[in-house]
Structure 1
Amino acid sequence: MDMIHFLHMLHEEIGKSQGTSRKHIIHFRTAKDYRNCRAHLKRLKPSLTHLSKIRDLNIIHAFSCSLKSDALLRQGSLPVYFEEDIKIKVHGLPEKKKHRASIKNDTPGRSQIIPWGVDQIMAPQTWNKSVGSRVSIGVIDTGIDYNHPDLSQAISRGINLINRNLLPFDDNGHGTHIAGTIAAASSNGGIVGVAPRAIIHPVKAFDHNGSAYVSDIIAGIDWCVHNDLDIINMSFGMKTYNKSLEYAVLNAYHAGKIIVASSGNDGHKASIDYPARFTQVVSVGATTRSSKIAPFSNRGSRIDIYAPGDRIYSSWLHGKYNELSGTSMATAHVSGVIALMLAIKPGLRPLQIKNILKRSSISLSKTRTVRWQAGQINARRALSALD
């Protein structure tokens, strides 16, 4: 079977896929085969209209689309293989919504609110050295509230992967909350994030329910790499291994991107979710105000660093504020600290970043009997370690 015949069959199968379809990722055995098929796809799209529903996942040399069945396509001799495009969820445990006044500001003359997590990791003590200026962070999430006063200075160009014709407006709240912890900057009673001069690029891959497909995530990673962002924040996860997602993470890592991902909120003692489980990722667990591992946080030897994640106060939809708990919130603190580091030393590579964070962390074990256990992130120590 040649590529043109394959695309004609694909066109027919996509046309049959209404209602009972499942999403698939189509991989090519070689980059040459992928480029060959992509060239034919571009040429055939005007006449075979169903081919316009194919998404190009360039970073892993693959396509994604909905098919009623891939059985017919598997029968040919074409050098492709299929993987199911499964759903993935953001990590977060919503708490009761709080008003701005619920956070007490004890510092005389200060009109800014510094949430407890930002304060505990000693980010304010580093702002005379770094505020994360010009460091770009792709937040692959539910989007962002463009009208939030604490985020107006932080937002830069993003993308809506659910609807390319719209801006990545947040219709869930999770992405806005993450962005606030990373880079909020208010001087009028709002909050301040870990790196208040970092630049947030909202990548809306998740819908209003906080759900996305793996192909959406891969497209988001591809966009971040293509636009040469420094950090990719991924506050989401799934239980099962997915080869396509691993390829995307590997390629982003080899492109020098620092990927930070949440470990999951199941309270597992020896297991974490993907993509945090990939070794190329900075995997993050959550801690409480008392610097203990949060009961909901996944933990174990695969965790690289812990950060505040329990009842975190941050920006919310419609210019409001909210408390959320989860390893998602912890991940945002870590992305912020990395932004502080990169603003001082832009050339740091992903493995260097991970090693510095681990080496400069604060131990969570008083007896140090658990030697493998990661520590809690500390911004001041991390920046001092750069010297």
Structure 2
Amino acid sequence: MEFACEEDPVIRVEAFTPGKNVSGIGIPWGVQHIRAPEAWSRTTGYRVNVGVIDTGVDFSHPDLKHSVEQGINVLHRTYLPQDDNGHGTHIAGTIAAANSLRGMIGVAPRARIHPVKAFDYDGTAYVSDIILGIDWCVRNRMDVVNMSFGMKQRSRSLLQAVDNAYHAGVLIIASSGNDGLRDDIDYPARYGQTIAVGATNREGKVASFTNRSEHIDIYAPGDKIVSAWLRGRHREMSGTSMATSHVSGAVALLLALKPGLSPHLIKSILKESAVPLKKGKALRTAGELDVMRMLKAAEKMGGR
């Protein structure tokens, strides 16, 4: 019996700018912009499990200590998934930071972050390690998986892992890439079983760096986003990575109110409730994330 071999390509986290350290106080503009605070009287993402396949998380960060679970380090199984890059900590902060006194608050401050370290200190990973991370998320019953990374080439084995997650009821949210392309987005966001995310700026316009095509499902804030960083700090960064983490947090808010929604239904709710984009440079098939409209659309669709 012959087996077809497939190369194991390198995949990169999706940050467009290296970023700069800032003082991160209160509710970042992106969290405000998607109207997450208006939903907190009804839902804070309580006990929704979010797998973050990335560079790990800074376990000692004061904004994250109430939100982070043990997770897994697929590169070194006996070690904690401690972040040695910063990207994963930034993503986790936007999703579920919860430190109103001195730090910042994320979109879903009572969601549970499960860091899955598949990326090295330089922000690169092999597809085989991503697949291990996705499989871990499925086995450990994550509700949502944030994948703020991308690559240009297709991978049959990555598609198979994404498909397995989809059929297991685990929603994968992925970034479109930062090359400013007009008719192309990165994998795995390009797979129909994921939620593909593009980035907007403060004006609600599509960010110049974001890849876009008819494959995009939703846009969210990704320009000059302040979030948690290594050693208890905060950093401003831009990229479709940052947009993706806003959507993961929003879905956590939704699932805390309506557990058990299928990935297909969540995608429909997000697309149905999106705010039309300004100055339609982007294709009109996708709009911008709005948490309150999302929750209203979910109510309208009824039931679980």
Counterpart-to-counterpart distance in 2, 1:279 and 1:300: 13
Shift of 1:189: 1.7
CA 1:117/1:369 → structure 2, altered by over 3 Å: closer, same or farther?
closer
CA RMSD of superposed structures (Å): 1.3
Partner residue, 1:116: 29
Q: Does 1:359 align with 2:272?
A: yes
Partner residue, 1:155: 68
Structure scoring higher RCO (CA < 8 A, sep ≥ 6) equals: 2
Counterpart-to-counterpart distance in 2, 1:371 and 1:190: 37
Does the 8 A contact of 1:150 with 1:185 survive in 2?
A: yes
CA 1:96/1:80 → structure 2, altered by over 3 Å: closer, same or farther?
closer
Q: Which of 286, 293, 296 is the aligned partner of 1:381? A: 293
Matches within 5 A, 1:335-350: 335-350=248-263
Shift of 1:99: 2.5
Partner residue, 2:302: none
Does the 8 A contact of 1:300 with 1:373 survive in 2?
A: no
% identical aligned pairs: 58
Paired amino acid for 1:218: I
Structure 1 unaligned residues grouped into runs of 5+: 1-77, 104-111
Does the 8 A contact of 1:154 with 1:199 survive in 2?
A: yes
Shift of 1:79: 3.4
Does the 8 A contact of 2:277 with 2:284 survive in 1?
A: no
- Cα shift readout 1:222-265 (whole Å, capped 9, x = no counterpart): 00001011001000000001101000000110000011000000
* Partner SS state of residue 164, structure 2: helix
Counterpart-to-counterpart distance in 1, 2:244 and 2:257: 21
Paired amino acid for 1:89: R
Q: Which of 130, 135, 138 is the aligned partner of 1:222? A: 135
Shift of 1:187: 2.5
Paired amino acid for 2:285: Q
* Partner SS state of residue 125, structure 1: helix
Partner residue, 1:88: 11
Counterpart-to-counterpart distance in 2, 1:116 and 1:98: 16
Shift of 1:96: 4.1
Shift of 1:95: 4.2
Matches within 5 A, 1:185-264: 185-264=98-177
Partner residue, 1:269: 182
CA 1:370/1:144 → structure 2, altered by over 3 Å: closer, same or farther?
closer
Does the 8 A contact of 1:269 with 1:300 survive in 2?
A: yes
Counterpart-to-counterpart distance in 2, 1:164 and 1:178: 22
Counterpart-to-counterpart distance in 2, 1:246 and 1:300: 19
* Partner SS state of residue 381, structure 1: helix
Matched length: 299
Q: Does 1:283 align with 2:196?
A: yes
- Cα shift readout 1:320-377 (whole Å, capped 9, x = no counterpart): 00011000000000000000000000010001000100111100045x7976331000
TM-score where L is the length of structure 2: 0.96
Counterpart-to-counterpart distance in 2, 1:380 and 1:99: 29
* Partner SS state of residue 197, structure 2: strand
- Cα shift readout 1:94-113 (whole Å, capped 9, x = no counterpart): 3442331xx6xxxxxxxx61
* Partner SS state of residue 21, structure 2: coil
Counterpart-to-counterpart distance in 2, 1:94 and 1:208: 16
Counterpart-to-counterpart distance in 1, 2:224 and 2:18: 7
* Partner SS state of residue 284, structure 1: strand
Structure 2 unaligned residues grouped into runs of 5+: 300-304
Q: Does 1:326 align with 2:249?
A: no
Partner residue, 1:179: 92
Does the 8 A contact of 2:149 with 2:177 survive in 1?
A: yes
Does the 8 A contact of 2:17 with 2:238 survive in 1?
A: yes
TM-score where L is the length of structure 1: 0.76
Counterpart-to-counterpart distance in 1, 2:172 and 2:19: 30
Shift of 1:123: 0.3
Counterpart-to-counterpart distance in 2, 1:369 and 1:282: 20
